[in-house]
């Protein structure tokens, strides 16, 4: 092999191709000296030396002194695949983008307030712009991005990539976010449900570490669950697995947006809870409307109305989770979302309801814990999934 011929003006493409050859040899053959790399790739010693310097600076390889045939040499070992991954998180009023290294560690993160719900096409355009901006600011070439994963707050059909009909983003029903982002960025994009990604992240580096069978609940406007069985995400045939918000709890309850009555969501969804606040509430009113974190803060300070609302939400969440526990027998149930900030004010009533509603054997090895990754859990999960897809 000779050094790859390049079309004029594509020096950086040539350099990337040569770098790729060096990395491929290290991945295939393990630790090699610079001379061995030059032989295996057909590149000149000077080129290899140059590429090694760049990879070392990027943290892709480690170099140590050794000897080869009695002469001093440098032994080079690959520590991670070069390149970057990108995560995009669509939430109702916000788009976040994170850039990670090829292991999925976050290296940069930015978010903008944006009404994603009203128009999916415009939301995707905005997200693509933000991704390009974050990459540019961090001097990362779009060409070195190997994988992109988008988090969407709704069920996604794994076969078609379409967002399901009932989600926090009604106008996204039937939309294919991965396809739209792929067209914008010119990179292959995967889309995944936000609760699934949050489950993946908590299991990898948060409250689910060490557990193989994990259910991760996320409460927000609705409530969803990411289910991991034997370390794998369980999506179901059409991506609807884990939509526990529509477990029917009360046949005479409120009509839910899904058309059924008394769904779990009507007991724990943010708007339902905020509507229950009494007129002369002790919840501090900021410049904007009262939100769930305000109610949680008031409850933690002892406001009786907020405590009551959160306790009842905990009971309903426990009733729904009891059904999930009987079906899947998880070893850990993680509660994420803003409501989880209430800690035991939410988890204690939840635990009691689960004891009443599940088989003893389903709870024997079950730990109920708050999430550890907070509002960025889905973003971390998207980075993790993107890193798993790096070839």
Smaller CB separation from Zn ion, 90 or 272: 272
Q: Please list the residues that pair with 319 across neighbouring strands.
A: none
Beta carbon of residue 242, minimum distance to Zn ion (angstroms, whole number):
14
Beta carbon of residue 359, minimum distance to Zn ion (angstroms, whole number):
25
Smaller CB separation from Zn ion, 104 or 224: 224
Smaller CB separation from Zn ion, 105 or 240: 240
Beta carbon of residue 310, minimum distance to Zn ion (angstroms, whole number):
21
> What stretches of 277-359 show up as alpha helix (H) in DSSP?
292-300, 304-328, 344-357
Q: For Zn ion, which stretch binds (CB under 5 A), given 12-20, 27-35, 239-247, 297-305?
A: 239-247
If one counts every other C-beta atom within 10 angstroms of the C-beta of residue 2, the result is 7
Length of the chain: 391
Smaller CB separation from Zn ion, 16 or 260: 260
Beta carbon of residue 253, minimum distance to Zn ion (angstroms, whole number):
10
Smaller CB separation from Zn ion, 51 or 256: 256
Smaller CB separation from Zn ion, 22 or 223: 223
The position carrying tokens 């590429």 is 51
DSSP secondary structure string for all residues of 343-354: THHHHHHHHHHH
DSSP secondary structure string for all residues of 19-34: HHHHHHHHHHH-SEEH
Smaller CB separation from Zn ion, 105 or 260: 260
Beta carbon of residue 271, minimum distance to Zn ion (angstroms, whole number):
13
Binders of Zn ion among residues 244 to 283 (CB under 5 A) are 246, 256, 258, 260, 263
What SS3 string covers 214-262? EEEEEECCCEEEEEEECCEECCCCCCCCCCHHHCECCCCCCECCCCCEC
Encoding tokens for residue 249? 């709890």
For residues 120 and 185, give the distance between their C-alpha atoms in angstroms, rounded to a whole number.
16
Beta carbon of residue 270, minimum distance to Zn ion (angstroms, whole number):
15
50: region left, alpha or beta (phi > 0 left; psi from -120 to 50 alpha):
alpha
Binding residues for Zn ion, total number by CB under 5 A: 5
Beta carbon of residue 377, minimum distance to Zn ion (angstroms, whole number):
23
Beta carbon of residue 307, minimum distance to Zn ion (angstroms, whole number):
26
For residues 194 and 200, give the distance between their C-alpha atoms in angstroms, rounded to a whole number.
10
Smaller CB separation from Zn ion, 26 or 247: 247
Smaller CB separation from Zn ion, 173 or 258: 258
The b-or-e profile of 163-201 (16+ CB within 10 A means b, else e) is bbebbbbeebeebbbbebbbebbebebbbbbbbbbbbbb
Specify the DSSP class assigned to residue 102: T
Q: For Zn ion, which stretch binds (CB under 5 A), given 61-69, 136-144, 173-181, 241-249?
A: 241-249
Beta carbon of residue 258, minimum distance to Zn ion (angstroms, whole number):
3
For residues 344 and 12, give the distance between their C-alpha atoms in angstroms, rounded to a whole number.
55
Which residues here bind Zn ion, judged by CB under 5 A?
246, 256, 258, 260, 263
């Amino acid at each position: 092999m000779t050094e790859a011929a390049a079309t004029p003006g594509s020096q950086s493409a040539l350099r990337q191709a040569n770098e790729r050859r060096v990395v491929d040899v290290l991945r295939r053959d393990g630790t090699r000296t610079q001379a061995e790399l030059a032989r295996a790739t057909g590149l000149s010693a000077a080129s290899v030396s140059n590429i090694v310097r760049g990879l070392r600076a990027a943290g892709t390889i480690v170099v140590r002194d050794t000897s080869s045939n009695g002469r001093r040499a440098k032994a080079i070992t690959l520590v991670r695949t070069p390149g970057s991954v990108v995560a995009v998180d669509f939430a109702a009023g916000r788009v976040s983008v994170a850039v990670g290294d090829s292991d999925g560690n976050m290296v940069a993160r930015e978010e903008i307030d944006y009404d994603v719900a009203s128009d999916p096409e415009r939301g995707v355009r905005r997200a693509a712009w933000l991704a390009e901006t974050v990459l540019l600011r961090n001097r990362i070439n779009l060409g070195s991005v190997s994988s992109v994963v988008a988090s969407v707050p709704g069920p996604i059909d794994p076969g078609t990539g379409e967002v399901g009909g009932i989600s926090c983003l009604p106008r996204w029903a039937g939309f294919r976010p991965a396809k739209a982002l792929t067209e914008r960025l010119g990179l292959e994009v995967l889309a995944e449900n936000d609760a699934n990604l949050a489950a993946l992240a908590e299991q990898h580096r948060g409250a689910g570490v060490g557990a193989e069978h994990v259910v991760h609940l996320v409460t927000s406007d609705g409530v969803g669950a990411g289910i991991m069985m034997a370390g794998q995400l369980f999506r179901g045939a059409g991506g609807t697995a884990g939509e526990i918000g529509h477990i029917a709890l009360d046949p005479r309850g409120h009509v839910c947006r899904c058309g059924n009555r008394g769904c779990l969501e009507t007991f724990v969804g943010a708007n339902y809870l905020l509507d229950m606040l009494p007129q002369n509430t002790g919840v501090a009113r900021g410049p904007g409307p009262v939100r769930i974190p305000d109610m949680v803060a008031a409850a933690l300070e002892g406001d009786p109305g907020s405590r009551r609302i959160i306790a009842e939400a905990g009971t309903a969440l426990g009733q729904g989770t009891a059904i999930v526990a009987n079906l899947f027998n998880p070893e850990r149930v993680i509660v994420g979302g803003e409501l989880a900030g209430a800690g035991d004010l939410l988890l204690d009533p939840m635990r009691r309801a689960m004891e009443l509603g599940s088989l003893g054997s389903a709870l024997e090895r079950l730990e109920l814990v708050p999430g550890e990754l907070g509002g960025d859990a889905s973003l971390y999960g998207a980075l993790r999934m993107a890193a798993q897809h790096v070839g």
